[in-house]
Structures are given as structure tokens and as C-alpha cells.
Amino acid sequence: MTASTDPELRITEIFHSLQGEARSVGLPTVFVRLTGCPLRCVWCDTEYAFSGGKILTLTQILQQIKSFSCPRVCVTGGEPLAQPESLPLLRQLCDEGYEVSLETSGALPIADVDRRVSRVMDLKAPDSGESHRNLWDNIAELTPHDQIKFVISSRRDYDWARFKVDELALAGRVGDILFSPTHGELQARELAEWLLQDRVPGRFQLQLHKLLWNDAPGH
């Protein structure tokens, strides 16, 4: 890869930690946090990634990832797909044999993401303030290798999410349907009891990184 063809991305941080949520929760993972996001969810915990960052070439990013000697990489943000060069990054990571996941808001098209990537896609519930940004065309692109995540702040959010699970037949479309209570807004036990009572075909999760490191950058 020559300097003239080496893609560049704006990166907020690259770090090694435990995956805090989704299918590989608890497993050591390298996180590549891209800068910038077109959404402004009211409960966002990574506002520091909205701006700033540092321009790195794809080669430099891969070198940093390799230094951690970890088989798993999560590309996150911000919103990674807001940078078109995230696509060659994801493809190259797969080519090099990493187990790759992408955390995306669901507001931008996922069709061009390498199918070897596990796409962890949010569906924004009403209390996020951004539910109008859900790109419903993405649903048809999902496979059992992918995951859907709902962040739930209220009973209204929960009822909306439960309806979407049924309306979109998500249980037969993706590998995991994830329900997270908004930290500090909804009691975790309350959401767990709703899921049990209604026999929702999803997985309850608490965000491990919040419990261990209280959302400190680099974790």
C-alpha cells in the first residue's frame, strides 16, 4: 500500500479493553473509535468523539492494532460509517484475520459493509431524541451474523422496541437482539422484569464498561 493510496481516517482513540456489551461481552478487544457523528442522542456517552481526533493512515491504524496482539477488533464511534474510509478499514481487518464488529447507529446505510463483519446496529427508541433517523432500509441487509441493540430509557421505549421486534421479525433475522437500560435513567431490574414477563426473544445486558470504569475514555 503506497502513501498515495493509503486511506486516512480521523481517529479519537485506539485502545485495548474488555468488550462491554453485545455478543462478545467480557472478551479482550481492541477498539478503534472514529471521530464524528451526525446524531445527538440524549443519552450519548461518547460526546468527546464528536470532534477533534487525529488523522491516521490505514497502515498506521493497523500497526497500532497489531501491537495489542488481540484477535478481536471493534470499530466504533461516534458513527464510523460517517467516514467512507471506514469501509476499507473494516475490509482490511477481515482480510488480516481479525474477528471484527462494527457499532453503528443505524442512521447510515450498512449495505456496503463487508459481510464478514458483525454489524451491531442500534434502533433508536423515542426517548433517544433520534428515532426519526432510523434508516429502515437497513433491516433488509441484516443477517444472523449481525446484532440489533435497543437502548431503553422508559416504558415507552420498551413498548416501542417490543413492537419493532415483532413488526420487523427480528428474531428470525439477526443473531442477537440486545436490550440495555439507559444508565442512570431506568432501573436495570425493571427492564429485566419486563423482558421476562413478556417473553421477549432478546438478551438483557448491562454495559460492563460503565460498571468497571464509569465510561472513562480508553475503556
pLDDT grade for 5, boundaries at 50, 70 and 90: confident
Task: Select the more confidently predicted residue: 211 or 12.
Answer: 12
pLDDT surpasses 60 at 47: yes
| Cα torsion 160, 163, 167, 172: sign | positive
- Those residues with Cβ within 8 angstroms of residue 44's Cβ, 6 or more apart along the chain or in another chain: 37
Instruction: Tell the CATH superfamily of the 3-213 domain.
Output: Aldolase class I (3.20.20.70)
State how far the alpha carbon of 41 is from the alpha carbons of 37, 110, 130, in Å. 10, 20, 6
Q: How many helices (H) and strands (E) does the chain have?
A: 5, 9
pLDDT surpasses 90 at 87: yes
Distance CA 98, CA 163 (A): 35
pLDDT grade for 166, boundaries at 50, 70 and 90: very high
- Section 83-100 average pLDDT: 98
pLDDT surpasses 60 at 177: yes
Amino acid at 2: T
